[in-house]
Amino acid sequence: MAVTISCQSCGYQYDGTGLQAGVQFQCTQCGNMVVVGQAPGRKAPTKGAPAARGGPAPRGPKPMGRAGGPRAAQPYGAPGAQGGPQGAAFGPPKKDNTMMIMGIIGGVIVVGMIAAIVMMTSSKENQQQQSKADDDRRAREEKEAQLKKNEQVKKDGEARIATIQAATQAGPRIAGMLASKDMTALSAMFDWTAVWEDFKNQLEKREKKPPTNPDGSPKLDKAGRPVPSDYDKFMDNPLFCDGDWEKDEKGNPTGRYKGSNIKGPDGIRQRMMGYIEMMYGGVDAQADEAAMDKQKTPAEAKFSLTLGGKVLLGRMVMIKSTAASNKYLNFYVGAAAGDTNVRILRFEDSGVLENLKQKEAAYVRKTPTNDNQFENPDRERPRDPNNPDTAGPDENPPADLAPAKKTGAACPQALINIFRDLRDGKSVTDAQIKVVQDQSRSKEDRKAFIGACVDALIDHFEKRNRMELQNLSRSLFRIYERAIGYPEKEATFDPTTFDPANDYPLRVWYDFYERYGK
């Protein structure tokens, strides 16, 4: 049977089963000492009093709650009754809530950490999704931009091709204008302002400082004169610059042109068209597309020029003229990309200086009046009465020369290389002159050499090869000038005054062949 023990101070009840009377323990609620078996109302020892029998206070019994005792029935809500206010002896017990609070706090922390983790995970997923969306958007934009770029590149390429094709097709038209001597139509194809600006642009890119030796002294040419700068050389172009032909101290032309200032567009037009008409007008010409294809550059545009801030592109049209020897006349034909109304933007002729020199500043040799008055200044050698090549001019050349015809002569093998050089338009050298005039060579071989050269002259005349005619006839005159019996003007061709109906120099050399050795 359970034994109930009540605190004499606060009335809190404990289970006193198994405790002997007189045993004391401390009340867990109020801290006062409770004595087992002490009647209620008896004052118990205060807190900290010595336990009964002089020993320490034993551990208290199990708490049971406030002491109630039998009480009479009370109406609901009355003091002390159910639903009513309770007296001090019947209030709720005081409890320690520390663990519960710590548990709540720990739970809140755990919940917060879980929420943070969830939020972080969700945020990371959102960032990944947003990053993927951004990547997809950029990829689409880049793809669209690339498609637009490809389309633009295609359009630009088609525009360039259209302009280049138009420039290529202009080649035969230019050749036809030259052959028919239609200088008005040819001049209209030129963009003279562009030609003028292009020349100035090229000039500004040239080095203005003359070349020097390692020791700083100026470089000299074969004549002992300072070598001009690239800028000055480019200025020495009679087609583009005003100037004068240089002369030596004796007043003889040196063959060098000194430009002083650039002509205007109209001045260039007059000078250039006059030159083209004089040298190539009315002469057979054709566009050499095979040679043009060999001049291809890595870019689709065969050439490009930037003039006045505008990029022009096109094709270098190479014209082969029978009057241009083995060289080409280069017409740079083009326009802005996509524009098929192409114009000539640049003209190049590597033989322009030599051609104009022969026309305007040629060195005229003195014509001998008899064999005692003439001495060749190019070769200081004694006359040999046994060598017809040095015998002097014939005082009585035939008045009426027979028409020239092929001799059928075969050039001696010992002279074949010299013959080929002369036939191909190269000028004879002093060393080659000595070889041809070698007295140990038989008269038959020397006559055969002359005959082969006469046949080459006839071929060039029939093809209207003006420069080859000039170079070959002048080379022959240098070799045989003391024996031919005619002045240089009658024995040589001048490309600037060439007339297909006048073959007099051919007759002179054919007559010389017929008379040689007789």
Q: pLDDT by residue (tens digit) across 351-381? A: 888 888 877 876 554 444 433 333 333 333 4
CA 319 – CA 352 distance, rounded (Å): 15
DSSP β-bridge partners for residue 347:
331
Determine the average pLDDT of the residues in 391-399: 45
> What pLDDT sits at residue 213?
92
> What pLDDT sits at residue 51?
44
Q: How confident is the model at residue 62 (pLDDT cuts 50, 70, 90)?
A: low
Is the pLDDT confidence value at 75 over 70? no
Burial class of residue 455, CB neighbours in 10 A (0-12, 13-18, 19+): buried
Please state which of the ranges 68-82, 241-255, 261-275, 281-295 shows the lowest mean pLDDT.
Answer: 68-82
Is the pLDDT confidence value at 450 over 50? yes
* 3-state SS, residue 417: helix
Amino acid of residue 45: P
Residue whose tokens read 């409770």 = 34
> What pLDDT sits at residue 338?
92
Q: How confident is the model at residue 293 (pLDDT cuts 50, 70, 90)?
A: confident
| Top-confidence range, 112-121, 213-222, 287-296, 372-381 | 213-222
What is the percent of the chain where pLDDT is above 90?
35
pTM over 0.85: no
DSSP assignment of 485-508 equals -S-HHHHS--GGG--TT--HHHHH
Q: How confident is the model at residue 41 (pLDDT cuts 50, 70, 90)?
A: low
* 516: nearest Cα among 424, 460, 454: 454
* 3-state SS, residue 343: strand
CA 429 – CA 472 distance, rounded (Å): 12
> What pLDDT sits at residue 90?
43
DSSP assignment of 278-306 equals HHHTTS-EEE-HHHHHTT--SSSSSEEEE
> What pLDDT sits at residue 478?
92
CA 452 – CA 50 distance, rounded (Å): 160
> What pLDDT sits at residue 93?
53
> What pLDDT sits at residue 12?
87
Determine the average pLDDT of the residues in 179-206: 94
Angle, helices 192-204 vs 265-280, to 10°: value is 100
Please state which of the ranges 300-304, 310-314, 495-499 shows the lowest mean pLDDT.
Answer: 300-304
Determine the average pLDDT of the residues in 440-456: 91
> What pLDDT sits at residue 45?
54
CA 170 – CA 164 distance, rounded (Å): 10
Is the pLDDT confidence value at 82 over 60? no
Q: How confident is the model at residue 60 (pLDDT cuts 50, 70, 90)?
A: low
Do residues 251 and 244 make contact, with C-beta atoms less than 8 angstroms apart? no
Q: Residue 463: which residues within 8 A CB-CB, separation 6 or more? A: 322
81 vs 436, more confident: 436
